[in-house]
Amino acid sequence: MKTTLFARHDIAAIVRSTGLNRLMDETIDGLAEACLQVDAGHFSIPLRSGFQYSHPRTGLVEWMPAMRMGEHIVVKMVGYHPENPQVLGVPTILSTVLVFDPASGHLCSIIDGTFLTALRTGAASALASRYLMRSGSETLGLIGAGAQAVTQLHALSRVMPLRRVHVFDTDAATGASFIHRIGGFELPDVDVAVSDLATASACDVVCTATSVAVGAGPVLSDQHLQPSVHINAVGSDFPGKTELPQSFVKRAVVCPDFRAQAMLEGECQQLKEAEVGPDLLELVRRGDENYGLRNQATVFDSTGWALEDFVVAQILTRYGQALGVGQAVALESLADDPKDPYGFVRSIEDGLSSISATR
């Protein structure tokens, strides 16, 4: 019973071998299936919790647990520190995913969470959009052109007949570099252009993925939106942070990923609980019956849900195992005599350590 580490370079090997499209498609479909399983009572997904602080710098470290009963426990540990890029030159979000076997408590694997999170956030929007966007939607507006915009575009390109993408960012350099950052996947016959806010807002489907400060929203104007627009609101994930105009949120059918969390951190903060529409589970369960929503203004209020992490963790470990990537380490004590807590100091003397120190 070793623990397999899937670090950044292992994930890269999995992506190169499997392909981004296949991983995205399997995540979208896997999430749909997992929603049905949650609905059938096979999962336990508590609210995330953690530490939030302003010293030494503003940030939080939190854990997002999900269990498919009798199968796997996945806990994503997430750090969110907005000053990281400027102060330390590292990403705002660092995360690590732990996979446990509920038959024994064994820590099966530890996965770098960055790609996993990017993939699942895109996939969740794609799944919701499948049910909520107007039929024939072919233009996509991206408000905020950072990392999330890349995966939103990739994910949506898998579920809609995309013809035209309008990208807007308040930072011109971020907008300009967007075209280079989407080189990892094919977008045949899609025209991608840096645009103004009004044009990006007027698309059939809009994704907001900004780092707007708490209280500084909204990031777009109600007057530019189509009557039956579908918006994936990805950026609001913090108490006080919202991206959409309240007038629009009040008018639209707002579908949260995880209701209790969205009420605290998402666009749903702008609504009373009774004003919130069906959640992702309900959308997936009702399937075709949702068509009534396609011709209305709709919002997918994406705050990030541990179920999504669970799905990608399973996909990545499955491919990782099949490819034989990942580093197996003897991390946990599996002592010969569990009643002898100090025995390992003696017994290990004869070179039980198969992995030697590399520092």
- Residues numbered 157 to 196 that lie near a second copy (CB under 8 A) are 174, 177, 181, 184-185
Residue 348 binding a second copy, by CB under 8 A: yes
Q: Which residues pair with 272 in a beta bridge?
A: none
CA 291 from centre of chain: 25
Neighbours of 5 (CB within 10 A): 17
Q: How far is the CB of 199 from a second copy (least distance, A)?
A: 21
Annotate each residue in 124-163 with x if it binds a second copy (CB under 8 A) or - if it does not, as one string: ---------------------xxxx-xx--x---------
Residue 325 touching a second copy (CB under 8 A):
yes
Looking at beta carbons only, is 93 or 253 nearer to a second copy?
93
What spatial distance separates the first Cα and last Cα of the chain, rounded to whole Å? 24
CA-CA distance, 16 to 319, in Å (whole number)? 11
User: Could you give the count of Cα atoms lying within 13 Å of 309 in the half-sphere of its Cβ?
Assistant: 29
Token look-up 């949702």 returns 290
Site size with a second copy, rule: CB under 8 A = 101
The tokens of 294 are what?
């396609």
Confirm or reject binding of residue 324 to a second copy (CB under 8 A): yes
Residues 64, 259, 218, 241: what is their CA dihedral angle, to the nearest 10 degrees? Answer: -40
Q: Is 41 in the site for a second copy (CB under 8 A)?
A: no
Q: Which of 8, 22, 250, 286 binds a second copy (CB under 8 A)?
A: 8
If the CB atoms of residues 29 and 340 are measured against a second copy, the closer one turns out to be 340
Angle at CA 140, nearest 5°, toward 18 and 272? Answer: 105
Joined tokens for residue 97: 């995913």
Interface residue with a second copy among 29, 33, 88, 176 (CB under 8 A) is: 88
Residues 220-249 that bind a second copy (CB under 8 A): none
Q: Which two tokens stand for residue 108?
A: 């099966």
Q: Which of 161, 239, 287, 341 binds a second copy (CB under 8 A)?
A: 341
349 binds a second copy (CB under 8 A): yes
Q: Which residues pair with 54 in a beta bridge?
A: none
Structure tokens at 156: 């949506």
Using CB under 8 A as the binding rule, the residues of this chain from 52 to 71 that contact a second copy are 53, 55-57, 59-61, 63, 65, 67, 69-70
**Closest distance of CB 115 from a second copy, Å:** 7
**DSSP conformation class of 184:** T
**Of residues 114, 170, 226, 296, which one binds a second copy by CB under 8 A?**
114
- Report in angstroms how near the CB of residue 58 gets to a second copy at its nearest: 10
Q: How far is CA 338 from the centre of its chain?
A: 40
Among positions 25, 37, 91, 264, the unique one binding a second copy when judged by CB under 8 A = 91
